[in-house]
Amino acid sequence: MLEGLYVQDLDKDTLLHTKKFTVDLNYFSLKERIISVNTAQLDDGKFFLKTYKTGKTNLQFIINYFNTGTIKPTKIPKKKYDLTFDKVVLNSIDFKYKNFNRVSILKRINFDDLHLLNLSTTVLNINTKTHNFQAQVNNLTFREKSGFYLKNLSTLASIDSNQMEFKNLLLQTPNTQVSDYLLLKYNKFKDLNKFASKVYFESHLKDSYLHTKDIAFFSDVKKLDLKVKIRGDVSGYLNDLKARNFAVSAGQATYLKGNFDIKGLPDVNKTYVNLRIDQFHSNKKDADRLIKAATGKTNQIPAIAAKFGDVSFRGNFSGYFKNFKANGEVKTALGRVVTNLRMNLNGIAKYSGTVTAYDFNLGELLNRKDLGRTSLSAKINGQGFDLKQLQENIYANLSYFDYKGYRYTNVKIDGKYNGSFFNGEINVNDRNIKLDFLGKIDFTSKLPSFNFNATLRNTNLHKLGFVKDTMQIDADFHTAFVGNSLDNIQGNLQLKRIRMTTPKHSLVVDSVYLVADGLGNKRSLTINSDILDAGIRGQYDLKNLPYYFTSLVKKYVPSIRVKVGKPGIQNFDFTLNLKYFEPISLLFFPDLKIPEGADFTGNFVSAKNIATLTGASPLIEYKEIKINNFIIDES
């Protein structure tokens, strides 16, 4: 045992200094040049190693001595010393290494300027004959000046000038654990400073997890806060990895299993992946946390993704994390979807491909209470997920979809849709509606516009939920108008071959033609059909106009019970010719009867309380009240 051992290098700098150096020898012979050490132990020591610009180290003179017996080589070399160690114990060692060939300042670990503090370990069965260094390393621990802390390293280590191999590996830091096999290959030791691109590795991982805080000590990646659990076989360079039988989990709900090829790490934003995914699970909340942890940015997945709940996927994924192709099966809280899509999530999301949905809750996705679930197969090309950004070219076959409580079946759609606009073709072959639609509906502006042709057949309005009583309608529509009520409509609407049927009655109308034009007090609305002709010109409020006529009825027949209200702002002239009122009365006003030939004209100015009404009808009958030869000339 030596106390206060101090060794200088040739520069008279400290090479080795230890308070206590204990050596237990198995065998020692200068004559045979054999030194066999059972145990060597250094306590509270310092070891400073240098590499000069010549490539030699400050330890070289000792190596030369044991190789030749003198500091300088002799012309006749002697037998090398056979120096072996069974066990080396290091306690609280301060180790420095400086390479004067490379002068660089790095915030991370600099393998040309190392400083290991409180280094302790037990090393067994040291072999320097077939390797630069091979030994069983137990409980190696140290803290590097960069802040990196190795809590424990236990392994059968083999270190050579071009590779390091670690068998039965257990590496632990406060944030990371790696086991159980790792092989690092490089051309020279200084390649370790460019770990991502210069060091090739092979590993078999189990019960392992990595933290970006530790990765940052070996690369230029930022010190982020992402912990990833991994198992499987990984090989390649950090920026060009292959993983087989690989599983990775992160966050609270994210899990991925499959075979992967990954290029571009550690920069997640520039990482290209080719994945064959056997299992994937995640949700928006967890994905947002992971994106922030991996990138340091608060960019989030679009809010609508939260509606999908916990998402599972099985299939293939290739591309960048925000620009990729995916084909496979997705299971969500909204339903099951099979996809073959290309997606770009940079900015407004863009996507194209095919989607097949099974019992998918479209109403929940689009926040539409009038919509329900659907099963469909579609080809899409569009952008956006919420209604404000949505733009899609879509060709779809819908097995069914729910609208206002009714499930429509056998629907085909081919057109453009953006949430408030549709231009294309719709065909419905449902047992309660046959529809062929071609044209455009646009709700983009304050007043919607309609420009389409449509054919309705066998349409049961009651079962579809539009009316309370049983009623079926057939009709052909030709429209070109703007507006959402008769008070603001402009354009024309033509209906042909109209048939309206109730259990007791049927109404057949050859055609109805409506034309609306003008603004303000110069509006006009005309209706021509084989049951009535009507026209109104001026400023009118048709919603409240019936109150005017009910007030007249009340005036002449005080006993009648009708609802009377305010007539609104009215300033118009009107004409009405009832050609055939019976079908209308049977369907809509069964208690009111007016024969053919009834004519009415009038003028109404509500602001001046001016009203005129002129008309005549051979008979007006309402319930038990009959008026023969009805003539009105009211001012």
pLDDT in tens, 606-617: 777 677 878 887
In angstroms, what CA-CA distances link 521 with 478, 491, 493?
27, 17, 22
Q: Sign of the CA dihedral 96, 102, 103, 104? A: negative
The burial class, CB within 10 Å (0-12 / 13-18 / 19+), for 250 is: buried
The burial class, CB within 10 Å (0-12 / 13-18 / 19+), for 442 is: middle
Residue 219 is predicted with a pLDDT of: 74
Nearest 5°: CA angle at 336, between 335 and 339? Answer: 130
Residue 187 is predicted with a pLDDT of: 92
Q: What's the gap between Cα 80 and its chain centre?
A: 66
Residue 387 is predicted with a pLDDT of: 65
Contact 151, 178 (CB under 8 A): no
Residue ranges in the chain whose pLDDT is less than 70: 66-78, 220-223, 299, 387, 548-557, 562, 567, 583, 586-588, 609, 633-635
Residue 90: phi and psi, rounded to 5, are -115, 130
* Amino acid letter for position 148: F
Token output for 66: 């044991």
Residue 546 is predicted with a pLDDT of: 73
